[in-house]
Structure 1
């Protein structure tokens, strides 16, 4: 699982029937600086994956997501999916590793 913050939503004009009733979120993965509060924007530089969401996350919410084959596990049928939201975070604590 990877932590991220929702930074937007994706609007589709057409979607496959397998995705009915869900939303697509644009997320910014969170690294050590974002988790510890050192980055005031709360969003890391770099790529921003699009995540399938049936949990109801909104813009600004911290979430956990999974990628790859694990993202298809909640489904009983084959589905073309690479990332899925698996948790909405109410609160989290991050303790950076101590340097040796």
Structure 2
């Protein structure tokens, strides 16, 4: 496991990706084991799946960093 940490991220809605809109979603707390850096584009899982790495322990996490993306083609 690489230095796990919590990140505060801002989701990009579809129009931000496809049309260059400056609109963004609400901030999320994301658990990251992959080493995402500032400005990285990541894929996340939300809900119960995001809390799975912590077992029965209650942890205030909104999402889990599931992948790092090099580019997005639409």
Residue correspondences, number? 70
1:87 to 62, 67, 70: 67
Distance 1:56 1:87, change over 3 A: same
- Shift of the 69–50 alpha-carbon distance from structure 1 to 2, 3 Å rule, reads same
- Tell whether 2:52 aligns with 1:70: no
> TM-score by structure 1 length?
0.59
Give yes or no for the alignment of 1:58 onto 2:53: no
Structure 2, unmatched stretches of 5+, are none
Q: Distance in 2 between matches of 1:57 and 1:37?
A: 24
Which consecutive residues of structure 1, in runs of 5 or more, have no partner in the other structure? 1-20, 95-100
TM-score norm. by structure 2 comes to 0.76
The residue number in structure 2 matching 1:98 is none
| Cα gap change, 1:24 to 1:76, in 2 (>3 Å) | closer
* Runs of 4+ in structure 1 over 6 Å off: none
